[in-house]
Amino acid sequence: MASDKELIDCLRLINSENVGPVTFYKLVKEYGSIPAALEALPSALKIQPCSKADAEAELERTQSLGVQIITYRDSEYPALLKQLNDKPPLLYVLGNARLLNLPLSISIVGARNATVSGRKTASKIAHDLTNNKILVISGMARGIDSAAHKGAMYACEQQGSTVAVLGTGVDIPYPKENIALYRQIAEQGAVISEFPLGTLPQPANFPRRNRIVAGLSCGTLVVEASLNSGSLITARLALEQGRDIFAVPGSPQDFRSLGPNKLIKDGAVLVESADDILETLSQTHSVQLTEYIDKLQKNADIPEEETEEEDLVNNFCLTDYISYDGVYVDELIRITGMSVSELSPALLELELNGKIERQPGNKVALIK
C-alpha cells in the first residue's frame, strides 16, 4: 500500500486543475515521478497544483469514514482495470477491496426505466452468477443496475457480494432512493469511485463511471437499453477493452430491446440465463482463473482447503462419465442431471488440472 505521503502526492496531482487520468500519466512519464510533475506544473503548464493542505484534509476524511484509497501502483489495484490507458490513478473503496481482484466478474447494465420482466431477469442472472462465484458489478442506478445488485446480494444465503461503481464520491449515495441499497452493498461488498469525497452527480461523471464498470469486468451483460443508452456506451467500452459482450434479447416492439438486439446482431452472446455466461467464461477465461488459483495456493496465509475462491471449480467426480474418445457436454448434462452452471466450472477444473481436453463439437475427452 502507498504511504500517506505518496497518497497525498497522488491526490494533489489528480485533483489539480485540468488534470485528468490521461494527463496525469503523461506528466508522470514526462517528469519521471509524481513529485517531479507537481513541482513542474506551475512553470511548465502555468497550473497551480492542488494544495497539500487540501490533499491532507481529503486523506483525513477518507480515514475517518473508513474509506480506503488504492493507487494505480498498489498491488491491491484491480488487475483488469490496470489494462486501461485512462485508468483512474486512484480508487476510493468503501467495503471489501479484495473483491476487486477476484478472477471472474461480470458487469450487468441496462435501462433505468426497466420493465418488471427486465428487472427480474437481471436479478435472477446476477443471483445465479453470484452463486457460481462470479462477481457482479454495476453502477447502482435505478432499474437494471439496482436489480442486479439486489439479486447478487440475495445469493449465497443472502450474503452475496457485489461491487457498485459510483459517478459521485463514495460518500454520496445516488440516486437518493438507493440509500438503503448503498449501505447494504458497502456492508456485503464494495462501493467504489474515482471521484473525491463530496463529489455530487454531474452528467460528465457517468461516462467516466461507465469505463470503470466495463474495465473491472471480464464481460458486460446488457439487459434492456435503448439505442442511445449509456449502457451501450459501457458495452462499447468493454468491447474496445477486449472483453466479452452479452445481451438479453427482447421484443422488437419495445424500444428498450433495441439496444440488446443490435448487440446480438453485431456478435454479442445471446443470453437467456446465467448458464450462457458461465459457458462462455469457462471457455475464454481459463488462463486467468489458473493464474489466480496458483497465486492463492502460493499464499501461505490462505490454506488451500479453506480458500473460498476454489469453489469456482469442483469436479463432482465427472471423470467416471468421460471417455478417452470424448463425450458431448449435452450428454453429460443428461447423464449426470447437472445444470450447465454446475457442469461448466467442474469441467473447467478438470481441464486446468490436465485431466481432460476440449474437442470440436462441444465435446470433452480424458487425456491419455
**Residue of higher predicted confidence among 240 and 311:** 240
pLDDT, mean of residues 113-128: 94
pLDDT at 343: 78
Q: What CA–CA distance (Å, rounded) separates 125 from 108? A: 9
Residues 136 and 48 in one domain: no
Residues 162 and 262 in one domain: yes
Q: Can you read off the three cell numbers belonging to residue 202?
A: 454531474
Domain assignment of residue 278, yes or no: no
pLDDT at 307: 31
Residues 146 and 224 in one domain: yes
CATH number for 331:
1.10.10.10
Domain assignment of residue 81, yes or no: no
Q: What CA–CA distance (Å, rounded) separates 161 from 242? A: 25
Domain assignment of residue 66, yes or no: no
pLDDT at 5: 95
Residues 268 and 305 in one domain: no
pLDDT at 362: 81
Residues 105 and 193 in one domain: yes
Domain assignment of residue 283, yes or no: no
Residues 106 and 242 in one domain: yes
pLDDT at 94: 98
**What stretches of the chain show up as alpha helix (H) in DSSP?**
4-14, 21-31, 34-44, 52-65, 116-131, 144-158, 179-188, 205-215, 230-240, 258-265, 274-284, 286-298, 329-336, 340-352
Task: Let me know: does 329 contact 347? Beta carbons within 8 Å.
Answer: yes
Domain assignment of residue 102, yes or no: yes
**Residue of higher predicted confidence among 54 and 279:** 54
pLDDT at 310: 32
The per-residue pLDDT of the chain, averaged, comes to: 87
CATH number for 39:
1.10.150
Domain housing 24: 1-55
For 200-227, the pLDDT digits (tens) are 999 999 999 999 999 999 999 999 999 9
Residues 320 and 176 in one domain: no
Domain assignment of residue 123, yes or no: yes
The amino acid at residue 335 is I
pLDDT band with cut points at 50, 70 and 90 for residue 308: very low
The amino acid at residue 231 is S
Residues 259 and 160 in one domain: yes
pLDDT band with cut points at 50, 70 and 90 for residue 304: very low
Q: What CA–CA distance (Å, rounded) separates 209 from 219? A: 16
pLDDT band with cut points at 50, 70 and 90 for residue 313: very low
Kindly report the length of the chain. Answer: 368
pLDDT, mean of residues 262-288: 87
pLDDT, mean of residues 320-332: 77
pLDDT band with cut points at 50, 70 and 90 for residue 294: low
Domain assignment of residue 136, yes or no: yes
Residues 249 and 125 in one domain: yes
Place of cell 463511471: 209
Residues 151 and 231 in one domain: yes
pLDDT at 292: 53
pTM score, whole prediction? 0.78
Domain total for the chain? 3
Residues 18 and 149 in one domain: no
For 46-90, the pLDDT digits (tens) are 888 999 999 999 999 999 999 999 999 999 999 999 999 999 999
Domain assignment of residue 324, yes or no: yes
CATH number for 107:
3.40.50.450
Residues 145 and 225 in one domain: yes
Check pLDDT > 60 for residue 260: yes
Helix, strand, coil percentages, rounded to 5, for the chain: 50, 15, 35
